[in-house]
């Protein structure tokens, strides 16, 4: 069977790529400083799948390509409610803290640059967002992703609490099998220590000799 790589590439869904931040970094070595560029990139299909990646290279274009490749390796599915999110959520990562609120149709993306890039790549077109702490692009992007991944759909919310029993509750209702020994009976309470006789102790002997009259 022939493998056609070109046809697979043509059938692949078109990804949305957003460069969030470009930075010039340096590394001090024995011979001096080595200058490179780092690129933070967000990739998504616009239908609830989004990921981010960081790439470093000597050229800007190579750093962006590396970031895109790393972002495609870390794609994750996000729960959506049509064009917004199901409920309000707060994402925290390191010093970054992002508040995400659902919004009605026509509101648009009311968010900053880093959060806006994640929302556009995920396909969210109506949302309110605000950075509550650090404005570092990496922390903001990671906090936004943490908030999106913590969203729960209506099926998960409607799941009864009885389905989420603990291990102890499950084992309590499980009958003992033929090869399994019966449950060990509860241990009997420990008996109290014997009462000490004051006459037999050293203090009791001293007290007894005190009452003997001297001859």
154 band by pLDDT with thresholds 50, 70 and 90: confident
Domain boundary among 77, 104, 119: 77
pLDDT tens readout for residues 36-89: 999 999 999 988 899 999 999 999 999 999 999 999 999 999 988 888 998 899
With respect to residue 142, please indicate whether it lies within any of the assigned structural domains: yes
Interval 102-115 mean pLDDT: 90
Which of 24, 205, 18, 49 is CA-nearest to residue 112?
18
Residue 141 belongs to what H/E stretch?
Answer: helix 137-149
pLDDT at 4: 45
Residue 91 belongs to what H/E stretch?
Answer: strand 89-93
- Residues 20, 42, single domain; the answer is yes
With respect to residue 63, please indicate whether it lies within any of the assigned structural domains: yes
Domain boundary among 77, 105, 129: 77
With respect to residue 167, please indicate whether it lies within any of the assigned structural domains: no
pLDDT at 151 over 70: yes
- Residues 71, 99, single domain; the answer is no
pLDDT at 1 over 50: no
CATH of the domain at 51: 3.30.160.20
CATH of the domain at 120: 3.30.230.10
pLDDT tens readout for residues 183-204: 666 677 766 666 555 555 555 5
Q: What whole-number distance in Å separates Cα of residue 63 and Cα of residue 54?
A: 8
With respect to residue 206, please indicate whether it lies within any of the assigned structural domains: no
Host domain of residue 144: 89-152
Number of folded domains that form the chain: 2
pLDDT at 176 over 80: no
With respect to residue 62, please indicate whether it lies within any of the assigned structural domains: yes
pLDDT at 91 over 50: yes
pLDDT at 168 over 80: no
**Looking at per-residue confidence, does 101 or 189 come out higher?**
101
pLDDT at 6: 46
With respect to residue 35, please indicate whether it lies within any of the assigned structural domains: yes
With respect to residue 195, please indicate whether it lies within any of the assigned structural domains: no
Instruction: Give this prediction's pTM.
Output: 0.67
Secondary structure class of 37 (helix, strand, coil): strand
Per-residue burial over 160-176, b if 16 or more Cβ lie within 10 Å, else e, is: eeeeeeeeeeeeeeeee
pLDDT at 24: 93
């Amino acid at each position: 069977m022939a493998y056609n790589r070109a046809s697979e590439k043509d059938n692949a869904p078109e990804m949305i790529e957003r460069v969030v931040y470009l930075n010039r970094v340096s590394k001090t070595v024995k011979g001096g400083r080595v200058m490179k560029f780092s690129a933070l990139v967000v990739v998504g299909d616009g239908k609830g799948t989004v990921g981010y990646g960081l790439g470093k290279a000597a050229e800007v274009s190579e750093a962006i390509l590396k970031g895109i490749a790393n972002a495609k390796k870390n794609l994750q599915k996000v729960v959506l409610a049509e064009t917004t999110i199901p409920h309000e959520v707060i994402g925290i990562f390191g010093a970054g803290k992002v508040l995400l609120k659902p919004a009605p149709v026509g509101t648009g993306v009311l968010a900053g640059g880093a959060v806006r890039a994640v929302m556009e790549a995920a396909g969210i077109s109506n949302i309110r967002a605000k950075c509550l702490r650090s404005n570092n692009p990496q922390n903001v992007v990671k906090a936004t992703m943490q908030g999106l991944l913590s969203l729960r759909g209506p099926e998960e919310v409607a799941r009864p609490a009885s389905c989420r029993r603990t291990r102890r509750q499950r084992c309590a209702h499980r009958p003992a099998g033929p090869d399994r020994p019966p449950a060990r009976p509860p241990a009997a309470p420990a008996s109290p220590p014997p009462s000490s006789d004051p006459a037999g102790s050293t203090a009791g002997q001293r007290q007894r000799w005190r009452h003997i009259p001297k001859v």
